[in-house]
Amino acid sequence: MQTFEQVSKEAEALGYKVVLADLDSWDPGGKIITINERRTPRNQTVHLLHEVGHACILAEAELAGDYYDRFPGLQPDADSHVHTMSEFEQEVLAWEKGRLIAYRLGIPIDKNFHRIKAKSLQTYVEHHEESTSNV
């Protein structure tokens, strides 16, 4: 079985549909994970691991009933700095969940995974610098 297919089955087990389109995204309300079809197959798998990591985090928090305890900044009344930091924490955790999923499925984690993870987190930080620089 191809690795993308293996990870897709993990998403499906969580109730998500995986589609290829022009971006990477996780839509918990619509239960859709979208992966950029222009990426190489290996990079698609890496990004899918990350997005399924998000789905796992949400599923675990819903089961435990402690989503806002885990990510207090995602509450509707949270200030912007705390919100940004909770989002960043969730991004980091989603990458770690993705790594653990890969390990469980026997998918090797290589330098490419870590490069994509680092670049994605760096982009996130750069994108949100303005919202935290005023604090």
Which tens digit of pLDDT belongs to each residue from 35-94? 999 999 999 999 999 999 999 999 998 888 888 788 877 777 878 888 888 889 999 999
Indicate the pLDDT class of residue 17, thresholds 50, 70 and 90.
very high
pTM of the model as a whole: 0.89
The arithmetic mean of pLDDT across residues 119-131, rounded, is 83
What residue ranges define each of the domains in the chain, with the CATH number in brackets?
3-133 (1.10.10)
Contact (Cβ atoms closer than 8 angstroms) between residue 39 and residue 29: no
What end-to-end distance do the CA atoms of the chain give, in Å? 49
Structure confidence at residue 130 (pLDDT): 60
